[in-house]
A and B are shown apart, each in its own frame.
Chain A
């Protein structure tokens, strides 16, 4: 196992797109949360009555322990950035025909897929690390008086890791089956940004919310919208509590879907001509 990781690291460490993507993720995750944070600051900092109402309604989504949840939620919008990297990592192998050479040189087909699983895991861990740094940073910066509560919602770290790994696994499957980077990226972006969002919204109102079983939505629901969203609207609180109650169920679905994705990759790779 360690040997596979070392070999994948030899491939990745001098791949310019890896470092570019890492840099973009490292800027985007804190950046997008900063936007929301300064929006919150603007709405609540002031002596007007509206500022106080906003503060009362929103709480502080960026102070501990809520920062673990809020930063995970906002950061998860940008899964498409590491997804591009994952798709590039798998389609590069087809482009360079190194998916063949690795086997010729002595890997089993199973080892090849395992090595790619490690790629996705490595990227997921790095992304999660960036998220943890961002969430911790906001927690400390937003309200130093709440630092003592930093341990309260730590479950969002493994949930974020699971969501990231699950969604990057979908990106991997697409790249693995389609083989061409631009086609895979096109399908991924169109499905992720357009098709599934429309399908989920439609299903929510018309089809008893079965959209929650769509590939990305399954894992999207393990990190529901942060608590302050539940302070708006008549049924928001009930809806938020319901979303929280569904997390364990969706964790199981996410694990099942992700396991199925990798089993498909192993099964296809075992049989297909390379």
Chain B
């Protein structure tokens, strides 16, 4: 299947600072694609290039198999960095401008998207009178206008309260179920882990990894074990064959194996034969946060 977005060797510098270094990855159709990275890693620069706000120094990209153009952008609902609207206009008037430029949606759709983001009651208020969270909701409404197949969200939960964050997360899930492709840049690892099917991690402009979330996270098996004497347990497990490393964390011991090689029955039997009765034996999935720090820490 042709990817919705294909990025090939994009580089971008601001003077002597290299914001992106030869970045390439594909975004499959129907995926929720998270772009992660610390501040200054190049996430927004990447999305800005894809939306023709910035010019790449080198490299190419294609939306729907076509080079980026006004026509391809019209098919994409986008929220980039901050909600950008005319301060003296109401939500409805601002969305009329979005509608007129993009050709997405109708007057009825404007009311519909404002209901989705819970701004219907304030739709005639001026943008300048909105709170930060309301502005963010309006930007999401603008992106949703006309029900586009592809959505680009740069920090979509910025400025939202916990309830708002949960609502947007749920909205993204619903959109994904409806087959939308969503490209989302975020600092919030928990948020990405909860909704994304794919991810790319950037650090100082370099792509560290990209692929399906499970693939990126599962490059090793982690088995967590515990017994009445964790020190003794650790020394015994040092003799167990095939592991790559062992760490003691409080009363628990974590044993790391190459992916797909951890066998719980063998560990259990090994310990039992050595006279240790386990009170905990489970496979732990590495959290995105752990993986992220592992990849991005120097």
Main DSSP-derived SS at the A contact region: helix
Residues of A within 8 A of B88 (CB): 14-16
- In the complex, the answer to whether A7 meets B101 with C-beta atoms within 8 Å is yes
State A109–B68 Cα separation when bound (angstroms): 13
Q: State the Cβ distance, A2 to closest chain B Cβ, in Å.
A: 11
- In the complex, the answer to whether B86 meets A105 with C-beta atoms within 8 Å is no
Chain A residue at smallest Cβ distance from B97: A10
Q: How large is the interface on A (under 10, 10 to 19, 20 to 34, 35 or more residues)?
A: 20 to 34
Residues of A within 8 A of B89 (CB): 11, 14
Chain B, residues 63-84, CB within 8 Å of chain A (1/0): the string is 0000001110110001010101
**Any chain A CB within 8 A of the CB of B263?**
no
- In the complex, the answer to whether A98 meets B86 with C-beta atoms within 8 Å is yes
Residues of A within 8 A of B100 (CB): 3, 6-7, 10
Q: State the Cβ distance, A97 to closest chain B Cβ, in Å.
A: 4
State A147–B82 Cα separation when bound (angstroms): 59
- In the complex, the answer to whether B70 meets A273 with C-beta atoms within 8 Å is no
State A104–B53 Cα separation when bound (angstroms): 7
Interface core residue of A92, A101, A271 (most chain B CB under 10 Å): A101
Chain A residue at smallest Cβ distance from B152: A104
User: Of B52, B53, B85, B101, which is within 8 A of A96 by CB?
Assistant: B85
Q: State the Cβ distance, A116 to closest chain B Cβ, in Å.
A: 14
Residues of A within 8 A of B87 (CB): 96
With contact pairs A10-B93, A102-B101, A107-B101 given, residues A273 and B86 touching in the complex (Cβ less than 8 Å): no
Report, nearest first, the 6 A-B pairs whose CB atoms are least far apart.
Answer: A106-B74, A101-B84, A97-B84, A105-B101, A105-B102, A106-B102
Q: Can you name 25 A-B residue pairings with CB atoms under 8 Å?
A: A7-B100, A7-B101, A10-B93, A10-B96, A10-B97, A11-B89, A14-B93, A15-B88, A96-B84, A97-B82, A97-B84, A100-B53, A101-B85, A104-B52, A105-B73, A105-B74, A105-B78, A106-B71, A106-B101, A107-B70, A108-B70, A109-B52, A271-B55, A273-B54, A274-B54
